[in-house]
Structure 1
Amino acid sequence: MTDVTSALDYWPAPPPWGWTADDLDRLPPEGPNGEPDFFKHVELIDGALVFMSPQKRFHERVLFGLRVALNAQAPDSVTAMMQMDVKLGHRMRPCPDVLVVDTAAAADDDRTYYTPDEVHLVVEVVSPESEERDRKTKQARYAEAGIAHLWRVENNDGKPVVYTYELDPATRAYALTGIHHGRLTVPVPFPVDVDLDGLPR
């Protein structure tokens, strides 16, 4: 097991052996200089720690609204949740904004991450600082891991626009299945009908 405390001796550079997905469970509550909650909102992208910027109200509203809508319509076998990690590999542990996982996995309150085989849908709400990660890097990594469905949400003058993708098993890449303004109606990963403009404010 890597000693995460010694890894912080190299801060802000990564340790010579690099960060791993399991390191996120061993990060201290305080930062290298005693900053409180320093590692509270961090994900691992291709071996690099990525700190998430403060959440804007649009982001929070869409996350909450989609989670509520998904759980209201989901079959008993799956559960929607917000901002839980998915361990995609040794050096890849992103934190989707919303995800739908097996209910059996969601029932374990001690979990800090899920594995791709437990995840049916990931949703990323794009922020200005996360555009490249959400539109390119994460999308490619989720597809490589075999997660069947991805939704990307963009802010269009304060209204959410949802781009839906489904995994092509032959190419292990996502194919765009729709661009949804105002209302999101899809048959997979289960039948969903959401009034996007009516999400809670």
Structure 2
Amino acid sequence: MNTVSSALEYWPSPPPWGWKADDLDHLPAEGPNGEPDFFKHVELIDGALVFMSPQKRFHQRMIRRLTAALDEQAPESLSAVDQMDVKLGHRTRPCPDIVVIDTVAADDDERTFYTPDEVRLVVEIVSPESEDRDRKTKPFRYAEAGIRHFWRVENNDGKAVVYVYELDPATGAYGLTGIHHGHLTVPVPFPID
């Protein structure tokens, strides 16, 4: 039987059948050799477990401030949450820095992930170790899943630069709609200033 327990027997290699999105809900608290909180911050990208590195202060500050600002300005039907998985398929379950989702989904305290149809905006804050995933892999997967709005936040000498993208329905890819330094004002997915 292909279980998480049997998959860990192959550690550190992935099991022959690969990791699945639902496996993340069954990973143990400790690592295969008893390491505490080993699987605490892991995401699944194309069937591979990706371990997140510790956050730098800029990253944590942007998550906190943007989540609060988005949640404050969102209509009652939407909520901003941070560091919750989005299940994009049976082998892809990234953990975006921030998502704006339907309030009904946000009110379910038992959830461990959201689905693309519940997500209105995904925000990734780029770290040195996640540059390729945040700039290339994840945006492609979010667009493929039909998530209409994507923001990428970059650190430019301690100041945030926000790259705003919208899904082009004709191509199924994101198109850049703006680069924001110092002040961000956009009309979609809801008026944000």
**TM-score, normalised on structure 2?**
0.99
Separation (CA, whole Å) in 1 of partners of 2:2 and 2:178: 44
Partner deviation per Cα, 1:103-141 (whole Å, 9 max, x = no partner): 000000000000000000000000000000000000000
Partner deviation per Cα, 1:167-195 (whole Å, 9 max, x = no partner): 001111000000000000000000001xx
Separation (CA, whole Å) in 2 of partners of 1:161 and 1:178: 10
Structure 1 gaps of 5+ residues are 194-201
Structure 2 gaps of 5+ residues are none
Match of 1:104 in 2: 104
Conservation of the 8 A alpha-carbon contact between 2:2 and 2:17: no
| Corresponding residue SS for 1:88 | coil
Question: Does 2:12 match 1:12?
Answer: yes
| Corresponding residue SS for 2:185 | strand
Aligned AA for 1:77? S
Aligned AA for 2:18? G
Separation (CA, whole Å) in 2 of partners of 1:148 and 1:70: 16
| Corresponding residue SS for 1:121 | strand
Match of 1:48 in 2: 48
Question: How many angstroms does 1:2 deviate by?
Answer: 3.2
Separation (CA, whole Å) in 2 of partners of 1:23 and 1:14: 12
Aligned AA for 1:166? E
When the two structures are aligned, how many residues end up with a matched partner?
A: 193
Match of 2:167 in 1: 167
Question: How many angstroms does 1:164 deviate by?
Answer: 0.1
Instruction: Map 1:34-45 to 2 at 5 A.
Output: 34-45=34-45
Instruction: Map 1:54-69 to 2 at 5 A.
Output: 54-69=54-69
Partner deviation per Cα, 1:49-92 (whole Å, 9 max, x = no partner): 00000010000000000000001110000000000000000100
| Corresponding residue SS for 2:90 | coil
RMSD: 0.7
Match of 1:198 in 2: none
Separation (CA, whole Å) in 1 of partners of 2:136 and 2:36: 32
Match of 2:81 in 1: 81
Separation (CA, whole Å) in 1 of partners of 2:147 and 2:184: 20
Instruction: Map 1:124-143 to 2 at 5 A.
Output: 124-143=124-143
Separation (CA, whole Å) in 1 of partners of 2:80 and 2:69: 9
Separation (CA, whole Å) in 1 of partners of 2:21 and 2:71: 28
Q: Which runs of 4+ in 1 moved over 3 A?
A: none
Question: How many angstroms does 1:3 deviate by?
Answer: 1.2
Separation (CA, whole Å) in 2 of partners of 1:73 and 1:43: 28
Separation (CA, whole Å) in 1 of partners of 2:177 and 2:86: 23
Separation (CA, whole Å) in 2 of partners of 1:162 and 1:145: 22
Aligned AA for 1:28? P
